[in-house]
Amino acid sequence: MMGRHTGELHHTVEGTDPGLFVEIHEPAEGKDAGLRPVLLIHGFSSSGKLNWSDTGWVTALQEAGRRVIVVDLPGHGRSGSPEDLDSYSPSRIRADLLQIVSDAGARPLRDGDPSSGLDVVGYSLGSRLAWEFGATQPELVHRLVLGGPNKEDPLAAFDLSAAQRHLADGSPIADESTAQLLKMAQLLPSNDLFALLSLVEAIKGEPFDPAEAAPHMPVLLVAGEKDERAATMPELAAIAARSGSMAEQLVIPGRNHANAVTSRAFKDAAIGFLGV
């Protein structure tokens, strides 16, 4: 692995080279809180820069004294676009994230040591990945913040064939959700559209079932008041509570799925929730 603190890392995982792009940001000078690092996981067709840096999350966390790990998912941002479908599966992404945070210095939780463990913040697709990461890494993950969460995976209903036809010859897409997601992906020149379709295919192969593996650590669920995708947030909170988690919910007035992540109220709530 090559890189520098507050700089860039290109990571090789488990004998393959998915070319995942990683940035590690140290706490602001003189403000190190001595707390565990924070991993940020962005949403579908976004990137670490768009979701977290440009919206002020990285700076806010640094000012709160936190060390921040930002990753671009496969086919997104400055990450590579592997040819093998397995590199896009949620289980493989979780394994890659585990290796990345371990290499970045995250250690298993230890009683009485606030620098041990890892906090995770995810948005949209990143929330699905964070939920499963917390459920499968209870000895590492301290707390979770999930923005724009959904009990159902919106990519599960994505019409992959229609999207492929549209990219090939411009055929119209009948399913409105699929058309919107593809249009959103096309707005970013850095996105590899065929890689993103591979991600969709791989996600379809591993359906999201939040009740099957639920996190046990405290969870903060956050959504915009106008975010229709997050209408199932109370159901997710109930699933977390049944698993023994302390689940808190925050609804941000006037915000939707696209702009809730930019909210200062969201940042403040997350920083307060994680700073324990």
pTM as predicted: 0.91
Q: Quick: pLDDT tens for 183-203.
A: 888 887 778 888 999 999 999
Q: Is residue 44 part of a domain?
A: yes
Cα 179 from chain centroid? Answer: 22
Number of domains the chain is built from:
1
Contact partners, residue 56, CB within 8 Å, separation at least 6 = 262, 264, 267
Q: Is residue 54 part of a domain?
A: yes
Q: What share of the chain has pLDDT > 90, as a percent?
A: 79
HSE of 7, CA atoms in CB hemisphere, 13 A: 7
**Token code pair at residue 14:** 């488990």
Task: Name the average pLDDT for the chain.
Answer: 91
Q: Quick: pLDDT tens for 226-267.
A: 998 889 999 999 999 999 999 999 999 999 999 999 999 999
Q: Is residue 241 part of a domain?
A: yes
Strands (E) across 167-261 are located at 219-224, 247-252
Q: What is the mean pLDDT of residues 21-50?
A: 96
Of 38-52, 130-144, 186-200, 226-240, the poorest mean pLDDT is in: 186-200
Q: Is residue 164 part of a domain?
A: no
Q: Is residue 108 part of a domain?
A: yes
CATH number at residue 82: 3.40.50.1820
Q: Is residue 187 part of a domain?
A: no
Range of the domain at 84: 2-153+202-274
